[in-house]
Structure 1
Amino acid sequence: LDTIEQFVSAVETALKSCSDQLNPSQPSTIDNTSVTSINKSPLLGVSRIGALVKNLLIKSDRLFQIVVICTEWPTMNLFEKLFSVLHSNFHETWKSQINIQCQKDDETIQVHTNTVEGQMSVSISFTSSSIPQEDSQTSEQLLTKTNCLNALYAMHSVRWFQSHISTRQHASALIRCLRYKTKISSNWQSLSSEIIEILIEHTLSKSVSAVCAFRRVLEYLSGDGPGLRIPWETDSINNIYDKLSDQERNDITHEAQIGLRFMAFEQLNKWLEQYDIPKVMKSFQKRSYPDDQNQVAAKRQCLESDNIEEQ
């Protein structure tokens, strides 16, 4: 975690240093008086998104995500300029350790570094809060609205998670278990972390144990997951499955049905291809903690879940 934090922080620092370089204040002369014009930076800031900021990392995670928030609809010119100056804005200790690539297809900048645990990458995307109100435009000078909206919705997802999920006992551990399954099962590779988070929010309540919530998630997925929309996309009524193909939905349903059968015979460890699952699930069944200990309890369960991958 320390290595990840250092790497992501280095990228954030470099991005913030780019802001002044992209649009420095320029002196101008008006009525024979030298003044400095105030130019608004095209970059408002940067924001972490995804599993890193939600504290949902599992050991196999190697890709982390950052969004650059722009004052206006980001342009291809801004995208290319930022790419060209980014490397020079890294601290000297990082310059020889990173490789920066421009991905024009999905309009992201990828920063890679090698560590003792393998390659790590940070994906930088672009958005602006004004995008939803703007009419769709096809100008080659602007980044596509779809990519900008996806980045904006990812930020909304973080805020929703922090207000609805982060303080719930066992939630983070359950999400990590299910995310781990998406890494080891080809049938579940299309099941995003966001869908899992919505399902946990829907099934996990104060009156429901973590084991029961886990079973309910599998039952929901076994029934093809109808009826739940994406809560942070307030301008749409998209179902959580809308972006999946029929084959992907069938694969998810089939795998969830297999999981339910294993769970019914108390063999969930075989489904997750691990042997510490009974211990973790037993810990989930312990009585609830007082409200003032919920956060500590959740962190303890997350650590127990993390040990799944270290065997």
Structure 2
Amino acid sequence: GVRPGMPPQPQGPAPLRRPDSSDDRYVMTKHATIYPTEEELQAVQKIVSITERALKLVSDSLSEHEKNKNKEGDDKKEGSKDRALKGVLRVGVLAKGLLLRGDRNVNLVLLCSEKPSKTLLSRIAENLPKQLAVISPEKYDIKCAVSEAAIILNSCVEPKMQVTITLTSPIIREENMREGG
């Protein structure tokens, strides 16, 4: 029936989909050449997932270490602030889903409760191999890049992937805002 105030509904079959133009075919071909292969996507997903899980175990280990240290000393620190590592974020092309064929490097940001220090960086770098071994039988090469406040993790199997884990803290942003940065 006819409903007052409503536009009339078109009658007949739905409009046909237009055939692909040469531009459409060109774009689809181009996309197929730059989009990562299934093997590459799985390798990225695997190393990122393993790294994130290992960093969670590192965080657990560091907070456990701090708890034990605090029990020996005085118990003046509050319990909610015992985690040095707060979380991991995927950034850049990894976060946006814009990986291209041949991309072997991805970036993660590790949020810390305090401003990252050389000591914290080295403690994470020392602890990470143990935790990776718990999660995966594969071997990984780990390097500290102190000047970038980063840990660089390389897989030792093909396709060789690299994860750069950069340490940061909300405190750094607050300091930059105070300085007018």
The answer on 1:121 being equivalent to 2:162 is: yes
Deviation of residue 122 (structure 1)? 0.3
Secondary structure at the counterpart of residue 170 of structure 2: coil
The aligned runs of 1:1-311 (5 Å cut-off) are 1-24=41-64, 25-26=67-68, 28=71, 38=79, 40-92=82-134, 94-117=136-159, 119-134=160-175
Deviation of residue 112 (structure 1)? 0.5
Work out the CA distance in 2 between the residues paired with 1:64 and 1:122.
Answer: 5
Deviation of residue 92 (structure 1)? 4.0
TM-score w.r.t. the length of structure 2 is 0.64
Deviation of residue 135 (structure 1)? 6.5
Contact 1:87-1:95 within 8 A present in 2 as well = no
- CA distance 1:135–1:120, shift in 2 (3 Å): closer
Contact 1:113-1:121 within 8 A present in 2 as well = yes
Gaps of 5+ in 2: 1-40, 73-77
- Structure 1 segments of 4+ aligned residues over 3 angstroms from their partners: 114-117
Deviation of residue 63 (structure 1)? 0.4
Contact 1:69-1:128 within 8 A present in 2 as well = yes
Identity among equivalent positions (%) equals 28
> Who wins on radius of gyration, i.e. which is larger?
2
Secondary structure at the counterpart of residue 60 of structure 2: helix
For residues 150-179 of structure 1, give each alpha carbon's deviation from its aligned partner in whole angstroms, at most 9, with x where no partner exists. Answer: xxxxxxxxxxxxxxxxxxxxxxxxxxxxxx
Deviation of residue 53 (structure 1)? 1.3
TM-score w.r.t. the length of structure 1 is 0.39
Secondary structure at the counterpart of residue 64 of structure 1: strand
Contact 1:44-1:70 within 8 A present in 2 as well = yes
Gaps of 5+ in 1: 30-36, 137-234, 237-311
Letter in 2 for 1:46: V
Deviation of residue 56 (structure 1)? 0.3
Of structures 1 and 2, the one scoring higher in RCO (CA 8 A, sep 6+) is 2
